[in-house]
Amino acid sequence: MTASGHHAHADQALIELRQARKRYNIGQPNEAEILHGIDLRVAHGEFLALIGPSGSGKSTLLNVLGLLEPLSDGAYALQGQAVQGLEDQALTLLRRRALGFVFQFHHLLPAFTALENVTLPALMTEGRVSAAAREQARALLDAVGLAGAMDK
């Protein structure tokens, strides 16, 4: 669905970058351009692998795609919505609605059960965990083979 609540058109890209550039220390003697005019289009349902040597910009690109860092130049549209110029709150809402992160070194909160760890985003968003959120978390744990570990 798009931000307006309509389903995305089949030809609309999930992710689209046009001439994406990312520079650090702009205007300084140590200015560095990490992303050099990247064009990328990822369709709904498409899988993609990002492969490259250390220092080639993989993490920078993922941070840009994850709305954690802005582009220096170029255009980025997520589910058809341009992200340049969005304020922090709008970016947070878009990130929460459209993205998921699995970090290389992920850790669950040890004081919580698996079910509580999965429902944590609902708790943070809504201030409570509804029955529907709890049921969705159970279904997600079941889908990845962790139904038996729900209370551990």
* DSSP 8-state class, residue 83: -
The pLDDT value recorded for residue 64 is 95
Give this prediction's pTM: 0.66
Tokens for 134? Answer: 């709890």
**Residue boundaries of the structural domains of the chain:** 15-98, 114-149
Q: How far apart are CA 54 and CA 49, in angstroms?
A: 15
Report the distance separating Cα 41 and Cα 43, nearest Å.
6
CATH class of the domain at 15-98: alpha beta
* 3-state SS class at 145: coil
Percent of the chain's residues with pLDDT above 90? 47
Q: Classify residue 149 by its DSSP letter.
A: G
Per-residue confidence of the chain (152 residues) as pLDDT tens digits? 444 444 545 578 999 999 999 999 999 999 999 999 999 999 998 988 999 898 899 999 999 999 999 999 999 999 999 999 999 999 988 988 888 776 666 677 788 888 988 888 787 777 889 999 899 999 989 988 888 888 88
pLDDT at 20: 97
